[in-house]
């Protein structure tokens, strides 16, 4: 029987197999803030699927322990390079160390971030400087420093005419608080995430031409050190307020990153993916202690 002109060839059918469509094996990644929380979930997903993942955080013992733990899981590997990304000099040192070991960086995950909660009247000026520097400015700084490695990865991925077949990927870890007015007194954090989402789109418009995509995952509630206190006091209320009635699990964030960083996500550029169980559909529902 002859094949229908509209039907897939055997070659394209093979490319649709899940083990090829979502493959990241052999790719080199950097996950900032990768020693715990959402960053560790992402790093774990990449390592478990065969990527070589560099992680950084301020705390050497924590960073080293996570790298040891994830490498033992395999089949990929995890390498610790502790760095305090508040400091530009530390960003430069981090990237220099990776450049000394690698000739390309296929995946950059800008995940490092911080928050600050204080009533409007008491919100300190220094909090804005700290949060905006780490959550926005250093995401730009790290991406800027990694550009030569990302460009090299785009070239490694191959070209067909003007088309990059396997682009390098930037994934920016944002927040639903950057998409809707948050219920908590997180003025600097929410503003920083809104800025990061827009910066990611700016990256996409500028770097896509060079074979580098940039996308954002706007995370809802996940179990992390940043959210620990809220989950202890309001976990059930938060769960009940979401259409899917749960909080995020490691599979959710790891799966989203694997999609964006594999062949499956190669045509996605400039997107913001809400990963929140549908909370944004309803609007962010106020928690009891933050109602004015």
Please, what sign has the CA dihedral across residues 238, 225, 213, 16?
A: negative
Q: Output DSSP code: residue 218.
A: E
Q: Which of 203, 90, 103, 69 is nearest to 144 (CA)?
A: 203
Please, what sign has the CA dihedral across residues 185, 38, 214, 212?
A: positive
Cis peptide before 256 (omega within 30 of 0): no
On whether residue 25 sits in a domain, the answer given is yes
189 is catalytic: yes
On whether residue 200 sits in a domain, the answer given is yes
| Tokens of residue 124, six digits | 């300190």
Total count of domains within the chain:
1
On whether residue 197 sits in a domain, the answer given is yes
DSSP state string for 247-285:
-B-HHHHHHHHHHHHSGGGTT--S-EEEESTTHHHH-PP
pLDDT of residue 239: 72
Beta strand 168-175 with 107-110 is: parallel
On whether residue 96 sits in a domain, the answer given is yes
Identify the active-site residue in 187, 189, 203, 222: 189
On whether residue 142 sits in a domain, the answer given is yes
pLDDT of residue 223: 77
CB 131 within 8 A of CB 196: no
Q: Helices (DSSP H) in the chain: which residue ranges?
A: 10-15, 18-21, 37-48, 60-73, 88-101, 125-132, 138-156, 187-207, 228-240, 250-261, 279-282
Which residue matches tokens 């690698």? Answer: 102
On whether residue 290 sits in a domain, the answer given is no
DSSP state string for 233-257:
HHHHHHHHTSTT-S-B-HHHHHHHH
Domain containing 219 equals 20-275
pLDDT tens, position by position, for the chain (292 residues)?
A: 444 455 555 568 888 999 999 999 999 999 999 999 999 999 999 999 999 999 999 999 999 999 999 999 999 999 999 999 999 999 999 999 999 999 999 999 999 999 999 999 999 999 999 999 999 999 999 999 999 999 999 999 999 998 999 999 999 999 999 999 988 899 999 999 999 999 999 999 999 999 999 999 999 988 766 666 666 666 667 777 788 888 889 999 999 999 999 999 999 999 999 999 998 988 765 544 443 3
Alpha-carbon span 42 to 35, nearest angstrom? 10
Helix (H, G, I), strand (E, B) or coil at 184: coil
Alpha-carbon span 262 to 205, nearest angstrom? 20
pLDDT of residue 40: 98
On whether residue 15 sits in a domain, the answer given is no
pLDDT of residue 276: 93
CA-based angle 114:115:121, to the nearest 5? 150
pLDDT of residue 171: 98
Alpha-carbon span 167 to 245, nearest angstrom? 36
| Tokens of residue 273, six digits | 């993916």
Q: What is the CATH number of the domain that holds 60?
A: 3.40.50.720
Which residue matches tokens 């929410």? Answer: 190
Q: Would you say how long the chain is, in residues? A: 292
The CA-atom distances, in angstroms, between 183 and each of 8, 50, 291 are: 48, 39, 8
CB 215 within 8 A of CB 170: yes
On whether residue 228 sits in a domain, the answer given is yes
């Amino acid at each position: 029987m002859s094949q229908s002109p509209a039907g897939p060839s055997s070659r394209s059918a093979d490319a649709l197999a899940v083990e090829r469509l979502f493959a990241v094996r052999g790719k080199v990644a950097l996950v900032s803030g990768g020693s715990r929380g959402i960053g560790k979930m992402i790093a774990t997903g990449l390592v478990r699927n065969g990527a070589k993942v560099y992680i950084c955080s301020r705390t050497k013992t924590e960073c080293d322990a996570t790298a040891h733990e994830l490498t033992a899981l395999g089949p990929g590997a995890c390498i610790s390079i502790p760095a305090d990304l508040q400091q530009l000099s530390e960003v430069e040192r981090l990237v220099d160390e990776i450049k000394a070991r690698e000739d390309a960086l296929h995946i950059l995950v800008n995940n490092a971030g911080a928050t600050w909660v204080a009533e409007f009247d008491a919100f300190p000026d220094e909090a804005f400087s700290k949060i905006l520097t780490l959550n926005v400015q250093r995401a730009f700084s790290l991406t800027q420093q990694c550009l030569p490695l990302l460009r090299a990865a785009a070239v490694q991925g191959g070209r067909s005419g003007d088309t990059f077949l396997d682009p390098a990927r930037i994934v920016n870890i944002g927040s639903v608080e950057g998409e809707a007015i948050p219920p908590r007194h997180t003025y600097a954090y929410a503003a920083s995430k809104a800025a990061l989402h827009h910066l990611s789109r700016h990256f996409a418009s500028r770097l896509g031409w060079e074979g580098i995509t940039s996308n954002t995952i706007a995370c809802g509630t996940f179990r992390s050190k940043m959210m620990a206190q809220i989950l202890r006091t309001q976990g059930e209320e938060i769960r009940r307020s979401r259409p899917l009635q749960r909080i995020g699990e490691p599979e959710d964030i790891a799966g989203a990153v694997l999609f964006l960083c594999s062949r499956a996500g190669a045509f996605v550029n400039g997107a913001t993916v809400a990963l929140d169980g549908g909370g944004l559909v309803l609007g962010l529902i106020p928690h009891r202690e933050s109602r004015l």
